Amino acid sequence: MSALRWLVLLVALGLAGLALQRLEALRGGVVSTPLTVGETPATVYRSGDAPAPVVVIAHGFAGSRQLMEGFALTLARAGYIVVSYDLLGHGRNPVPMSGDVTVIEGTTTVLMDELARVADAALALPGADGRLALLGHSMASDIVVRQAVRDSRAGAVVAVSMFSLAVTPDAPRNLLVVAGAWEGMLAAEALAALHLADAGAGYAQTVGDPGAGTGRRAVLAPDVEHVGVLYSATTLREARDWLDASFDRQSGGPVAARGGWVALLLVAVVALGWPLAGLARRWRAATPPLRLPRGAFLLAVLGPAIATPLILWPFDTRFLPVLVADYLALHFLVMGGLALVLAARGGALRVDAVGLLLALPVAGFGIVLFGGALDRHVAAFFPTPERLLLIAAIAAGAVPWMLADAVLTEAGRAPLWRVLVMRGAALGSLGLAVALDFEGLMFLVIILPVILLFYLLFGTIAGWVGRATWRPWATGVGLGLFLAWALGVTFPLFAV
């Protein structure tokens, strides 16, 4: 390995170590203990034994407790007893979601009932003084709003990235709505909720009296979107200060602003891929991957991307206990299979046993190193047994598609325009599928940014490995396995 690669390796390890040290330091002074409510896994955060109000935290769609830890640490440091949990079908919760997702009396009510059980358990904890606040993000913002309207014990609500038709001029009590400045429609919803109480009020203006339970406030967190809003110091500070105003407390102190350190950790782990990829150069193939002529390339990419959603459109693709992952697996399988057939006709697909073996460390890098960092500090990444079949089913589609991606982009050696066409076609194909069946596949819209992030981060690593080895099977199969794992632990389980 060259001196430059050794330098990058050492710098990346140093930055990863620094990020880990700072993230762990943010937990200082807070004691976290496991709590199980029925089969719902939860974590209790607290920093002392004095009686205090309870805050129950619920994450959004495809999230988990780890995603909300900034709130948990900030509020626990402020003296609150905090309980954060994995919603049904999410994270390490083994019980799937159920009910009709299109009506309030269906899945929404099931999730509200689970929140009620967690709130009951939280209020029974030693030190709980009987006062309750609910905090939720995205999908869970509607759950906490509706549950607060139903449960008179809820004295305050923090709804992040909220959309809820249950908000009225005087319910729920003491409502704070925070949206990212880049969230567009949800930012407007925050102001609309405020205007129900006072049509002339603006962002960052409190109307009503939090001490009397009539408070209402809308805030924009600057320079963030739907996920970044969870890491914003503005969001964390506003949530803490709102609960203090609602419960007549004065806590203050720093907030657990983890976003920069999380980003540094993930970037450092990805950077490790470049020097490690250099180790694979000794197994470089004798000849580079074949480049298809432009016309054959476009046919192999665009043909399957357009045909796949049209082929699957007439069929009921629900066969797995999870929301839309079954469709995604079939979509990848058909699109990747067609692309591989066309690549083989052009002579670009060659079986490679060595590349297949090298796929294992590529997948292991993503699952163990990157996934370990995610599971500890971002979101649940290590699956419960219920998800293993799901990961295998998604892999049956993700591996052919990522292999097709690697073959047609020549293991990262193709011109940039070919890479952009290849990956843009994949995202466009999924977008076309959603357009054809929005009601059935609307949750795919939430997953598309995950796939885009995967391309940005692990597409880069694939390029490093591919250019070092000239072996599409190493990057295609390896990243296909990692993508299947990532999606398999992200999609919510759902009872069919």
Distance CA 178, CA 292 (A): 50
Alpha carbon distances (Å) from 143 to 139, 149, 303, 324, 400: 7, 10, 42, 21, 38
pLDDT of 293 over the 70 cut: yes
- Cis amide bond preceding 172, omega within 30: yes
Residue range(s) in the chain whose domain bears CATH number 3.40.50.1820: 27-257
pLDDT of 186 over the 70 cut: yes
Find the mean pLDDT for residues 64-88: 97
Find the mean pLDDT for residues 38-47: 97
| Per-residue pLDDT, 147 | 98
Confidence band of 111 (pLDDT split at 50, 70, 90): very high
Strands 128-137 and 154-160: parallel
Distance CA 412, CA 15 (A): 27
Confidence band of 491 (pLDDT split at 50, 70, 90): confident
Find the mean pLDDT for residues 399-410: 96
Find the mean pLDDT for residues 207-229: 96
Digit-coded pLDDT (tens) for 265-286: 999 999 999 999 999 999 999 9
Which of the two residues, 386 and 109, has the higher pLDDT score? 109
Contact yes or no for 192/186 (Cβ under 8 A): no
CATH class label, 27-257: alpha beta
Angle 44-47-49 from CA coordinates, rounded to 5°: 90
Find the mean pLDDT for residues 57-62: 94
Q: What are phi and psi of 138, to 5 degrees?
A: 55, -120
Sign of CA dihedral 465, 467, 469, 474: positive
pLDDT of 496 over the 70 cut: no
Find the mean pLDDT for residues 288-302: 96
Find where tokens 């073996």 sit.
357
What amino acid occupies position 123? Answer: L
Contact yes or no for 462/479 (Cβ under 8 A): yes
pLDDT of 117 over the 70 cut: yes
pLDDT of 323 over the 80 cut: no
Model pTM above 0.95:
no
Contact yes or no for 315/327 (Cβ under 8 A): no
| Per-residue pLDDT, 444 | 83
Confidence band of 355 (pLDDT split at 50, 70, 90): very high
Confidence band of 36 (pLDDT split at 50, 70, 90): very high
Confidence band of 226 (pLDDT split at 50, 70, 90): very high
pLDDT of 57 over the 90 cut: yes
| Per-residue pLDDT, 373 | 92
Digit-coded pLDDT (tens) for 427-456: 999 999 999 998 888 878 877 777 888 888
| Per-residue pLDDT, 424 | 94
Find the mean pLDDT for residues 482-495: 90
Name the percent of the chain lying above pLDDT 90.
Answer: 85
3-state helix/strand/coil string of the chain: CCHHHHHHHHHHHHHHHHHHHHHHHCCCCCEEEEEEECCEEEEEEECCCCCEEEEEEECCCCCCHHHHHHHHHHHHHCCCEEEEECCCCCCCCCCCECCCCCCHHHHHHHHHHHHHHHHHHHHCCCCEEEEEEEEEECHHHHHHHHHHHHCCCEEEEEEECCCCCCCECCECCCEEEEEECCCCHHHHHHHHHHHHHCCCCCCCCCECCHHHCCCEEEEEECCCCCCHHHCCHHHHHHHHHHHHHHCCCCCCCCCCCCHHHHHHHHHHHHHCHHHHHHHHHHHCCCCCCCCCCHHHHHHHHHHHHHHHHHHHCCCCCCCCCECCHHHHHHHHHHHHHHHHHHHHHCCCCCCCHHHHHHHHHHHHHHHHHHHHHHHHHCCCCCCCHHHHHHHHHHHHHHHHHHHHHHHHCHHHCCCHHHHHHHHHHHHHHHHHHHHHCHHHHCCHHHHHHHHHHHHHHHHHHHHHHHHHHCCHHHHHHHHHHHHHHHHHHHCCEECC
| Per-residue pLDDT, 411 | 93
| Per-residue pLDDT, 382 | 92
Contact yes or no for 387/487 (Cβ under 8 A): no
pLDDT of 1 over the 90 cut: no
Residue 178's nearest CA partner among 213, 216, 143 is: 216
| Per-residue pLDDT, 322 | 79
pLDDT averaged over every residue in the chain: 94
Find where tokens 């782990």 sit.
269
| Per-residue pLDDT, 255 | 95
Find the mean pLDDT for residues 89-98: 94
Contact yes or no for 43/86 (Cβ under 8 A): no
